[in-house]
Amino acid sequence: MKVQGNGHEHEFEAAYGLPEPLPKGESILWQGAPDLADLAVRVFHLKKIAVYFVVLMAVRGSYLYSLGGDSLTILAGVLLVAGLGLTAMAALGLLAWLTARTTAYTLTDQRVVMRIGIVLTLTFNLPLKRIETAGLLLAGKGYGDIPLALSSGDRIGWINLWPHARPWRLAKPEPMLRCIADAQTFATTLQKAWTNATGKASASTQGHGESGTASTANWQMDSLANKPV
């Protein structure tokens, strides 16, 4: 698969997305980062925030009209709410942009590496042999999320992962690659790499609304399209 990247911006990295050179014989299968537009909409909920403030503007305008306010008073009240909405959306948009810009996901034939963090950069090295299951959420236009369930005893704090964590899995957080382009193809590549690294059979990767589970129960590419992730 073609290696994708945003350029080498972190001066202390041995290579894009990697804190140190890979061991001899290990090769990169894929690199990428969250798609900015998909991240802004699905993770930071920019569209929902916009709808919320539009409704708030209508409510504010109706309330001032019911009090007998003149046109200028109503306009000022609506514009105040609009200004607050634009400020909130700008802040969330900036956060989404920084998240996408500072994130790098790498899949090698031995591990998944997640370089994340806006102010404090963290790199998580997840050996394929320590991954028990993975999920696939297809969100439309080929974008998707890949949550990774780690072996028992392996735990990363949810707050350290956010927003690269599967929602609502606080007791046993699951790292999640967010808003990946062509997620179905990436999931297949990940699946093959896991099988080669562990020597175990894996389930077939499924698309929207389908799921499969390996007979060994060690690997499953479950479609989460109908589940609240």
Domain ranges (residues) in the chain: 28-33+103-223, 39-100
Determine what percent of the chain is predicted with pLDDT higher than 90: 70
Cα 76 from Cα 74, distance rounded (Å): 5
Looking at residue 202, what is its pLDDT? 63
3-class SS of residue 131: strand
pLDDT of residue 97: 97
- Average pLDDT over every residue of 13-40: 92
Q: At the topology level of CATH, where does 28-33+103-223 sit?
A: PH-domain like (2.30.29)
C-alpha dihedral, 17 to 22 to 27 to 32, nearest 10° = -10
Lowest mean pLDDT among 28-32, 48-52, 57-61, 210-214: 210-214
Q: Do you find a cis peptide bond into 163, omega within 30 degrees of 0? A: yes
Could you report the per-residue pLDDT of 21-32, keeping only the tens digit for each? Answer: 999 999 999 999
pLDDT in tens, 108-149: 999 999 999 998 899 999 999 999 989 999 998 999 999 999
Contacts of 190 (CB under 8 A, 6+ apart): 107, 112, 134, 146
